[in-house]
Chains A and B, each alone.
Chain A
């Protein structure tokens, strides 16, 4: 019995030592990776961060990166809820341009200049209009751009050739663009653009003065009823529909993809990133037939873009900022994101080099990135407002009334202005 008791005591002593040892080991390993920076992102930003995190973790021992991936809309809904309740906030939040106004003016994001005294120097290395988009009066620089979407006109060269027109004919003026569309329609049967709304979207964005928004002036007052660009945009969209130049297809629908595959739509105005989508999945078999040009009528506009921000309640602000710096300031990292995911760099220095200027096979060997870089520099920074989404919604509904029900442009804009003003008061 005694022997048994002794051996039991010894075993008990041994197991206690083992437990103590394992606790100590766990403590050491915890010390080795005591900080985990969480990044909440949507596709393909999540993939960009995951790829970058491997290298960054090697350079920063003891810091791990955890990426929380959600679908595009789900991500922004989740961030809205997190900001509302100040819970489950990540250390780094990816924000798409369309949501920036709402999130930035929430007061829930850190003014990045408080994290880094040298922020101004770093901002100089980025495309100016995108930096301005991340700045908000009273809140400072709350978001920093990582990729941008300079607007471009993608067109089918073969369809343009069929009516003997040149790129100059297509882009010199809106009138020239529509006339070329008439010709393409007559010779090939293809529509000039997917939807008449496309031309409205670009015309209302062209000519916005610096510091003003698309729908609101610097003071937040609706300009839909007064700014001539809205009148012109609606008139042009109406002409497009009357002349049968649009295919009445919404972007991102099944028909949209099919139209590109079958060549029933001759052009699309969108962010430069569309080139990557066309080549990778929308219409890979049409390689060599597409070209990129500047937007018609010397218009310059941006289509989306991704920003990084740090929530006020983030636990690891210092590490979060260090990671953001790597993601936005490292030339190799920004170029890798361009090569793998078609994320056009916001870092000017990454818009250089042989690979950047290399011909793009899908665009018939065109060195289109240089063209997009030039147009990005000409984009005027516009202000974003939290009511932009609802203003866009109201304006689109009124345009539908003009296109479908014959409502007069003047009346439609008057109604839109009234409804936007009513909403903006809230």
Chain B
């Protein structure tokens, strides 16, 4: 019995906070339930919640926003993190750990603090971003590239998503840098030495040795980005005041699900949306898996 006793704290916590909510949300998907009326007020409605979610234009709009944000904030994370990790690993020497720490800092900073900071930076009339941009618009020759008037970054539909994507990128790029530096440290040095003896430049070493060796970590990092990107909640929630911004342009599916449950008190519909999101995440994770599979079938 001893092993079971030793495992029981984890099992108990997993059952209560892991398995039960999953099962309960699956059950709720087929119920109409206004939570404030208590557990006894649930009524079975069959597939009604799912049908409503499929016909709800906000579900599709939020999904479109989520995919946009996942790609625009996720892809650059890796495109920037890999060369940056290479640079840190190969050229920074004793400053390597300090640089990694600096890039990792946003990841462990409170999301609320980050969102408040960026809200101030992107403030229309008093934000530093607009002050700098309008100043740059007065530069000769290149001035036309920058806006002459203040941009309402978080108040107009066209700019909300890019701002949210930028904040998400800024926050998670350091995490990916750490992943890739760790993977690079596992690449045998003799591969590089052999390359150098053959007269390969740094670029060729990166392209022909580092990149192929990073593939398993790229797979891991991409899966994390896909799952995290599709569950995006905190950054857009705080930056758009919890409502998704003008024309819902910053409302992600996770945000809409939360609002459906806790603002509109419709837990059945919220559960249907959550399972809808789960299916999409599972599908995209499977596609990522397929994309990273080599000819031998190993990821």
- In the complex, identify which listed stretch (B116-124, B161-169, B201-209, B222-230) lies at the interface while the others stay far away: B116-124
Contact partner, B36, options A106, A253, A254, Cβ 8 Å: A106
| A250 contacts partner chain B, Cβ-Cβ < 8 Å | yes
| B241 contacts partner chain A, Cβ-Cβ < 8 Å | yes
Type the 1/0 row for A45-88, where 1 means its CB is closer than 8 Å to any CB of B.
00000000000000000000000000001000100110111100
| A241 contacts partner chain B, Cβ-Cβ < 8 Å | no
Given A80-B265, A389-B264, A400-B247, is A102 in contact with B36 using a C-beta cutoff of 8 Å?
A: yes
Complexed CA–CA distance, A277 and B33 (Å): 38
Residue pair B35, A253 in contact (C-beta under 8 Å):
no
| B52 contacts partner chain A, Cβ-Cβ < 8 Å | yes
Residue pair A397, B248 in contact (C-beta under 8 Å):
yes
| B126 contacts partner chain A, Cβ-Cβ < 8 Å | yes
Q: Which of A176-197 contact B (CB under 8 A)?
A: none
Given A248-B152, A250-B155, A386-B265, is A106 in contact with B34 using a C-beta cutoff of 8 Å?
A: yes
Residue pair B38, A254 in contact (C-beta under 8 Å):
no
CB distance from B154 to the nearest CB of A (A): 8
Please, which residues of chain A bring their CB within 8 A of the CB of B155?
248-250
Given A80-B262, A426-B32, A426-B266, is A106 in contact with B38 using a C-beta cutoff of 8 Å?
A: yes
Q: Which of B266-292 contact A (CB under 8 A)?
A: 266-267, 269
Residue pair A102, B262 in contact (C-beta under 8 Å):
no
| B100 contacts partner chain A, Cβ-Cβ < 8 Å | no
| A162 contacts partner chain B, Cβ-Cβ < 8 Å | no
CB distance from A420 to the nearest CB of B (A): 12
Q: Which residue of chain B lies nearest to A252 when distances are taken between CB atoms in the complex?
A: B241
Q: Which of B14-57 contact A (CB under 8 A)?
A: 32, 34-39, 41, 52
| A330 contacts partner chain B, Cβ-Cβ < 8 Å | no
| A255 contacts partner chain B, Cβ-Cβ < 8 Å | yes
Q: Which residue of chain B lies nearest to A98 when distances are taken between CB atoms in the complex?
A: B263
| B99 contacts partner chain A, Cβ-Cβ < 8 Å | no
| A401 contacts partner chain B, Cβ-Cβ < 8 Å | yes
Residue pair A255, B37 in contact (C-beta under 8 Å):
no
> Number of contacting residues on B, CB 8 A?
31
| B157 contacts partner chain A, Cβ-Cβ < 8 Å | yes
Please, which residues of chain A bring their CB within 8 A of the CB of B266?
426
Residue pair A83, B264 in contact (C-beta under 8 Å):
no
| B200 contacts partner chain A, Cβ-Cβ < 8 Å | no
| B246 contacts partner chain A, Cβ-Cβ < 8 Å | yes
| A103 contacts partner chain B, Cβ-Cβ < 8 Å | yes
Complexed CA–CA distance, A262 and B125 (Å): 11
Interface centre among B126, B243, B263 (most CB of A within 10 A): B263
Type the 1/0 row for B249-268, where 1 means its CB is closer than 8 Å to any CB of A.
00000000000001111110
Complexed CA–CA distance, A26 and B52 (Å): 58
Contact partner, B246, options A86, A107, A255, A400, Cβ 8 Å: A400
Type the 1/0 row for A387-413, where 1 means its CB is closer than 8 Å to any CB of B.
101100100010011001000000000
Complexed CA–CA distance, A105 and B155 (Å): 35
Complexed CA–CA distance, A401 and B157 (Å): 11
| A345 contacts partner chain B, Cβ-Cβ < 8 Å | no
Contact partner, A253, options B37, B241, B246, B265, Cβ 8 Å: B241
Given A80-B36, A255-B125, A258-B125, is A250 in contact with B262 using a C-beta cutoff of 8 Å?
A: no
Residue pair B241, A103 in contact (C-beta under 8 Å):
no
| A108 contacts partner chain B, Cβ-Cβ < 8 Å | yes
Type the 1/0 row for A252-275, where 1 means its CB is closer than 8 Å to any CB of B.
111100100000000000000000
Complexed CA–CA distance, A258 and B127 (Å): 12
Residue pair A386, B34 in contact (C-beta under 8 Å):
yes
Complexed CA–CA distance, A234 and B112 (Å): 35
Please, which residues of chain B bring their CB within 8 A of the CB of A250?
155, 241
Please, which residues of chain A bring their CB within 8 A of the CB of B37?
83, 105-108
Please, which residues of chain B bring their CB within 8 A of the CB of A77?
262
CB distance from A141 to the nearest CB of B (A): 18
Residue pair B247, A84 in contact (C-beta under 8 Å):
no
Residue pair A102, B265 in contact (C-beta under 8 Å):
yes
Q: Which residue of chain B lies nearest to A396 when distances are taken between CB atoms in the complex?
A: B243
Residue pair A85, B39 in contact (C-beta under 8 Å):
yes
Residue pair A426, B269 in contact (C-beta under 8 Å):
yes
Complexed CA–CA distance, A255 and B150 (Å): 13
Please, which residues of chain A bring their CB within 8 A of the CB of B152?
248
Complexed CA–CA distance, A389 and B262 (Å): 11
Contact partner, A426, options B39, B52, B262, Cβ 8 Å: B52
Interface centre among B36, B125, B126, B246 (most CB of A within 10 A): B36
CB distance from A111 to the nearest CB of B (A): 15
Complexed CA–CA distance, A389 and B39 (Å): 22
CB distance from A13 to the nearest CB of B (A): 40
Q: Which residue of chain B lies nearest to A81 when distances are taken between CB atoms in the complex?
A: B35
CB distance from B53 to the nearest CB of A (A): 12
Complexed CA–CA distance, A248 and B246 (Å): 11
Residue pair A84, B262 in contact (C-beta under 8 Å):
no
CB distance from B279 to the nearest CB of A (A): 22
Complexed CA–CA distance, A390 and B56 (Å): 13
Given A102-B265, A258-B125, is A401 in contact with B35 using a C-beta cutoff of 8 Å?
A: no
Interface centre among A85, A86, A255, A387 (most CB of B within 10 A): A255
Contact partner, A254, options B120, B262, B263, B269, Cβ 8 Å: B120
Q: Can you sample 17 A-B contacts with CB below 8 Å?
A: A80-B35, A83-B37, A83-B38, A84-B36, A84-B267, A86-B39, A107-B37, A108-B36, A108-B38, A254-B119, A254-B126, A258-B126, A389-B264, A393-B243, A393-B263, A400-B246, A426-B52
Which B residues have a C-beta under 8 Å from some C-beta of A?
32, 34-39, 41, 52, 119-120, 123-126, 152, 155, 157, 241-243, 246-248, 262-267, 269
Interface pairs A-B: 9 shortest CB-CB: A84-B35, A106-B36, A83-B36, A390-B264, A106-B37, A77-B262, A254-B123, A102-B265, A103-B36
With A393-B263, A397-B248, A404-B157 known, 18 other A-B pairs at CB within 8 A are A80-B35, A80-B36, A84-B36, A85-B39, A102-B265, A107-B41, A108-B36, A108-B38, A248-B155, A250-B241, A253-B241, A254-B123, A255-B123, A255-B126, A258-B125, A390-B264, A404-B247, A426-B266
